[in-house]
Amino acid sequence: MSKADFYQTLNTQVGAIIAGETDSIANMANISALLFEALDEVNWVGFYRCFDEELVLGPFQGKVACIRIPLGTGVCGTAAKTGEVQRVADVHQFSGHIACDAASNAEIVLPVRKEGKVVAVLDIDSTRFDRFDEEDQAGLEALVQIFESSLV
C-alpha cells in the first residue's frame, strides 16, 4: 500500500471513530490510540492542550510524558506558538528540545485549531531519525483537519 493510500485509509478510520462525538478529550484519546497502533516506528503519540502560556498534557499513548511545556519551548511549544507544523529529522539538533523520552530521535508536531486559534498540538515521536517526510506531514495535516471539524 502506498503511503498516500495508507493515510487515506487511516483518515477514513479517524472520521468514522469521531463521527458524532463532540467530546474532544475522547476523540484525542481514540486518535492517539489509532495512530500509535497504525504508524510504524513511533514510540509516543498524543496531544498537548493550550492553556494561557503553556501546553498541558492530554490523551496519549506511550511512556510517561512531560506534563507542562511553556509556549515557544521545545518542538511542541514552538508549534503551538508559531502555529506551524514542526517536522524534525533529528530532535537532538533542535534548539531547546525537551527530552521526555531519551529514545526519541525524530518528531512531528501539528497545531490543532478551533476558530483559527491553536487549541492543541498533535505530537508524534519516533526512535528512527528522519522518520517523517512530506507525505507523512500531508497525511497528518489532513487527519488534524478531520479532528478540527469535530471541535465545538
Contact assessment for residue 142 and residue 35, using Cβ atoms and an 8 Å cutoff? no
Residue showing cell 490523551:
59
> Which pLDDT belongs to residue 7?
98
Determine the Cα–Cα distance for residues 20 and 62; give it in Å rounded to an integer. 27
Ranges of each domain in the chain: 3-148
How crowded is residue 9: how many other Cβ atoms within 10 Å of its Cβ? Answer: 12
CATH code, 3-148: 3.30.450.40
pLDDT at position 100, please? 73
The pLDDT of residue 23: 97
User: What is the residue-level pLDDT of the chain in tens, covering all 152 positions?
Assistant: 999 999 999 999 999 999 999 999 999 999 999 999 999 999 999 999 999 899 999 999 999 999 999 999 999 999 999 999 999 999 989 877 777 767 899 999 999 999 999 999 999 999 999 999 999 999 999 999 999 999 98
Please give the grid coordinates belonging to residue 46.
498524543
How many angstroms separate the CA atoms of 4 and 139, rounded? 7
pLDDT at 82: 98
Q: What is the pLDDT of residue 95?
A: 77
> From residue 119, how far is each of 31, 33, 88, 94 by CA, in Å?
16, 20, 21, 23
Quote the pLDDT of residue 102: 74
